[in-house]
Amino acid sequence: MSQIFPRSANAIAKSSLAVVPVVVLLLGWVVYTLMYSSWATKQNEVVEQPIQFSHAHHAGGEGFDCRYCHTSVEQSAFAGIPPTKTCMNCHSQIWTNAPMLEPVRASLRDNKPLEWTRVNDLPDFVYFSHKIHIHQGVGCATCHGRVDKMPLMVQAAPLLMGWCLDCHRAPEKYLRPRDEVFNMAYEAPANQLELGRQLKAEYHVASVEHLTSCSVCHR
Amino acid sequence: MNLSDIRNRLAGLEGRAYWRSLEELADTPAFNEYLHREFPANATEFTDPAGRRQFLKLMGASLALAGVSACTRQPEEKLVPYVQQPENVVPGRPLFFATAMPIGGRGMPLLAENHMGRPTKLEGNPDHPASLGATDVLAQASVLTLYDPDRSRTILYRGEVKTWASFTSALPLALGPLRTTGGAGLRLLTEPISSPSLLDQIDTLLAAFPQAKWHQWDPVYGAVQGGAPAAEALYRFDRADVVVTLDADVLTFGPAAVRYTKDFSSRRRIGTPQDELNRLYAIEPVATLTGANADHRLAVKAREVYGIAAALASAVGLSGVTGASASGEAAKFVAAVADDLKAHRGTSVVVAGDTQPAAVHAIARAINDALGNTGATVTYAAPLVASPLDGGASLAELVKDMQAGSVDVLLIIGSNPVFTAPADLDFKSALDKVKTRIHLGLYYDETAEQCHWHVPEAHYLESWGDVRAFDGTVSLIQPLIAPLYDGRAAIEVIASANGVGGQSTMDLVKAYWTRAFSGQTKTAWTLHDRQGRAFPTVDQFWRHALHDGFVASTSWLAGTAAAPATPAGTLPTAAPATASATGIEIIFRPDPYLLDGRNANNGWLQELPRPLSKVTWDNVAYISANTADRYHVPIWRDGNGEQPLMEIKYQGRSVTLPVWVLPGTADDVVVVILGGGREKSGRVGTGVGHNVFGLRTSNALWFDGGADLTPTGKGYYISSTQNHFLMEGRHPVRVVDAEEYRRTPAVVAELGREVPKPEDSLYPVHEYKGHRWGMAIDLNACTGCGTCIVACVAENNIAVVGKMQVAKTREMHWLRVDTYFEGDPASPSGVYHQPVPCQQCENAPCEVVCPVAATSHSDEGLNDMVYNRCVGTRYCSNNCPYKVRRFNFFLYSDFSTPELWAQRNPDVTIRSRGVMEKCTYCVQRINLARIDAKTEERPIRDGEIKTACEQVCPADAIVFGDLNDPASRVVKLKAQQRNYGLLEDLGTRPRTSYLAKVKNPNPALG
């Protein structure tokens, strides 16, 4: 009876001892990289919107306060998306015939809401509250980035749980005085940790033990 | 093992012995096998023949896929803002509006939670005297009916889709020819109505057609036997030391039960051992929750209640009472009750039930008059509803006219008589002789099918209206949402007949109250605010009444208005006659949740375990253990087996029903539960249970003798949760007598086993620096009504699983109410209820076994459950001694019916398949209150956070709060010597604790 395997099979068998773990590790690395990649998190991704609304122009150039449009940010979990009426407060006076703004005018005319695509979208099992974060001195730009420099809105942070916990485990790294919360251009001072600890005490920010309890965000 | 064996065994036991079901009491080998399996039969087996090899393949594949699924991208979501944002709306925060639910002609006052235009949850109106913040089961579940995708959506004329305009133009055409005869051929059939604006429209209609007749049929709230009582009674149980019920289920039946439970329980929630309790005697044929809460209960046939009432009247010193009959045990009972009543003149009350004839009501009233209770603990008033009171007689008259061919136009508002009319009337064939039949209803039901016109009715959350609560208080009903399915309110249909159909429901209702304000209505109204001030303008009145939800000056209970006077009561001259006074007695009772079947398409109600029997998804016939023994049918199920089917014959008609031996049912009585067997209901309710209306006749709407039972030898599976999550006799409930507790308050602690100290644990004792949440449940206040369960379902998006899944112990309710019986199976000496949510143990056995840390402790002591981390090993559930964890074996949550999406609470995750879930102490409410308190820079107030079960509880039995706040209510309750933890000898240190039941027996009855 002749041999089933040729002699060269030995080499294959031996080299597979080394190749198989490498392939497995490689696959693991691919999955891991994908998981944290901006492809999966949608970080810095520009999304198609009904109108190419520019935060850079409105918040940056014109200097609108965030709360002019996002009215419920201090009262509710949800910051609020402005109703068409808010856009028309100005655009019934200026750029009244701009073709770019036709969807806004159509919305008011037909009483049909604009449908925006969500940019900063947390999973549905996460219950984030703008109200408490604003109150405790977390700046808008801390999570949303320099919105005033974004011609088109992108998600500035990965919004992964590890990213949330980075602050929940050490809020002093990011806290700022309450009156600077809506200031886009705020720069953290050199003594941020010292200031952060001071603000943490002053604002009665909850303990790390509380901030890392599951039910604070998940329910 | 038979009944006498059990009795011998019970006699040999020392101390109190409690049992949840007859199966547990019988302790058969089959039952033990069922009990001792790790999971109930067939709960875990693979039904398809998968071998080890295939299993490994599937496991490998699913592991690999699980890894890959972690890096999928989230689906795109849309943000849809308003075009013009309504006033007061803060996106992400609910608004609350006062409204009321009409049921049986009475109103259940509510506050509706509205999330950006979607009503999601209903709470009681805390300022309204008929609610005081609580609601009943039906109100909680009604929000699901609002979104029911099976509700009727189009106006139909002979099966063809029509418009409202075509209906409003056809209606005058049909009524026109009747004007020449003064409307002799016009008939109106409604349910009981107390709505002032609707009554005004009906008055206008009847004035235009003076020969027309108005009939009433509601098989539950509008049906009386032996005549309607001359006066309506309004009880003040908070003032009564001694309460005697004569076949009256005051703690659960009808919308008044909420306030009655509040008042009754206020006399049971004792603070110290020295506090006085009230005492409740129940005389009844059917095991009800009122009887279960009684200190003494006498089970008699329904037809014997009159005799006992008469005997009681004689014993308290009334003369001229005829037909008294009480012998043996009943005589002793009556004598003791009479002595107790005489010792509590002016602080006692005798209550007659709605299912008893007028004669029994007259006797109860005479006793209350004689004892000086009238005016103190009870007020008699003229009936609140204006529709005919005796529904059976009214319907019989209508059928006679229909048979004679003298009805040309029949307008049916809301009722479903084709399904629910008494069998002897043959309503369906009589209906065929009516030339024009118009039906208004929520569903295209059995009656709609037989009518020419069908108009979909607007749900009460979709239309304007008004209704009066049981104490006369006028409540305004305001819509929370525009009609989802193009429904129309009753007032719109009647207004169309009156030629004013073009108006909106708001205009119609407001027009009435505008006239009422200037005194131009038939009923003279005094309209004042809560401080007794008159309103300057009608607009101010309207806004005020809408905001409050009611008009304070119309309440008889709040003391600002007097109940309308009623002639003095007179004693009946003779005992009421029943068709047959011999043989087995047949008793009809509405299903407590489905009623006559009108709620059959509501999955929450179908799956809610019925009180005492814990039957779900079916209607049964209740008999006593002695009756079952006599007919040689099995008293308990063998393991998880079937219930016997018996043929019930009455007046030549018969129905085959599964019988259920319910401890407490009178002997030689069969209690037939209505509400099953709907033929045209919807995807949930059609064909569930058995139709028993074939047995109900117009002269015996509630009870009669002369029935016959025949065992068929066949079986039928009933999904009852009675044996689910058993505690296996480890003293879960603690019961003491008031006298004993007063003498030695430590007796409650002695009833349990030794409790290990916190320091004995291997785990270090944790110090809680902030809040430490906890709950106390007063078993003495709890009546076992189950409203907490359905409130929890509504608040926490809990899925309905269906009959076969319930059979496998897979019901998803986070909160269950365990019922324990004590004593003889035929006549239990006590019935106790214990709501069991997650106990939020300090040393939680579930936490340590989770391999993925999906359940862990929060810094405020909550036992958190993280759905997105759970991989479904179910180790936690296995290790939980309380069995309060629920697993999604399948995709139970309905993700595919868009109508139901709008009902869900946006603050709670909707769980998917393969995930464990459990009570969270309503953590969404805790978080909301914490954030609000924090931003307002103040501590959380005690009572600011109410869990859904606490908020709805009519008995105020559940109290939630901060254990670190020494002034909180929960801390004070836990300091009582009645306080104990469930299975605390296991060292779990539950933070939900119970206050022991304290009974107040009459020493004269031993």
Instruction: Report pLDDT digits (tens) over B745-771.
Output: 998 888 888 888 888 888 888 889 889
What pLDDT is attached to residue B246? Answer: 94
What pLDDT is attached to residue B639? Answer: 63
What pLDDT is attached to residue B44? Answer: 52
Calculate how close chain B gets to A23, using CA atoms only, in Å: 15
Tokens representing B132? 């005081």
Span B207-222, average pLDDT: 92
Instruction: Report pLDDT digits (tens) over B35-84.
Output: 776 555 555 555 555 667 777 787 777 777 665 555 567 888 999 999 99
What pLDDT is attached to residue A1? Answer: 64
Calculate how close chain A gets to B913, using CA atoms only, in Å: 14
Q: Closest Cα to residue B697, out of B736, B653, B661?
A: B653
Chain A contact for B69, CB < 8 A?
no
pLDDT value at B261 more than 80: yes
Residue to mutate among B931, B938, B964, with most A CBs inside 10 A, is B931
Q: How many CB atoms lie within 10 A of CB B276?
A: 11
E runs forming strands in B478-562: 550-551
Span B484-489, average pLDDT: 92
What pLDDT is attached to residue B243? Answer: 95
Calculate how close chain B gets to A6, using CA atoms only, in Å: 31
Q: How many CB atoms lie within 10 A of CB B255?
A: 27
Do B714 and B659 contact (CB within 8 A), yes or no?
no
What pLDDT is attached to residue B319? Answer: 85
For B934, list phi and psi in degrees, rounded to 5: -65, -45
- On chain B, the residues whose CB falls within 8 A of the CB of A219 are 907-909, 920, 923-924, 927
Burial class (CB in 10 A: 0-12, 13-18, 19+), B737: middle
Chain A contact for B432, CB < 8 A?
no
Confidence of residue B227 (pLDDT cuts 50, 70, 90): confident
Q: Closest Cα to residue B748, out of B945, B994, B534?
A: B994
How far is C-alpha B277 from the geometric centre of its chain's CA atoms? Answer: 25
How wide is the angle at C-alpha B771 spanned by C-alphas B768 and B777, nearest 5°? Answer: 105
Confidence of residue B690 (pLDDT cuts 50, 70, 90): very high
**Strands across the sheet with B186-190, in order?**
B160-162, B155-157, B453-456, B436-441, B409-413, B186-190, B213-216
Q: Closest Cα to residue A128, out of A75, A77, A66?
A: A77
Span B277-302, average pLDDT: 94
pLDDT value at B238 more than 90: yes
Instruction: Report pLDDT digits (tens) over B868-890.
Output: 999 999 999 999 999 999 999 99
What pLDDT is attached to residue B46? Answer: 53
The average confidence (pLDDT) of chain B is 89
What pLDDT is attached to residue A67? Answer: 93
Top pLDDT among B530 and B335 is at: B335
| Tens place of pLDDT per residue across chain A (219 aa) | 678 888 888 999 999 999 999 999 999 999 888 888 888 888 999 999 999 999 999 999 999 999 999 999 999 999 999 999 999 999 999 998 889 999 999 999 999 999 999 999 999 999 999 999 999 999 999 999 999 999 999 999 999 999 999 999 999 999 999 999 999 999 999 999 999 999 999 999 999 999 999 999 998
Span B272-277, average pLDDT: 90
pLDDT value at B324 more than 90: no
% of chain B exceeding 90 in pLDDT: 68
Cβ pair B90:A76 closer than 8 A: yes
Its ipTM equals 0.90
What pLDDT is attached to residue B42? Answer: 53
Confidence of residue B846 (pLDDT cuts 50, 70, 90): very high
What pLDDT is attached to residue B580? Answer: 66
Cβ pair A111:B866 closer than 8 A: no
Calculate how close chain B gets to A45, using CA atoms only, in Å: 12
What pLDDT is attached to residue B979? Answer: 93
Span B93-115, average pLDDT: 94
Cβ pair B91:A85 closer than 8 A: no
Q: Closest Cα to residue B904, out of B764, B770, B798, B756?
A: B798
What pLDDT is attached to residue B38? Answer: 54
Cβ pair A115:B80 closer than 8 A: yes
Cβ pair B927:A78 closer than 8 A: no
% of chain B exceeding 70 in pLDDT: 95
Span B633-657, average pLDDT: 86
Nearest chain A Cα to B905, which residue? A219
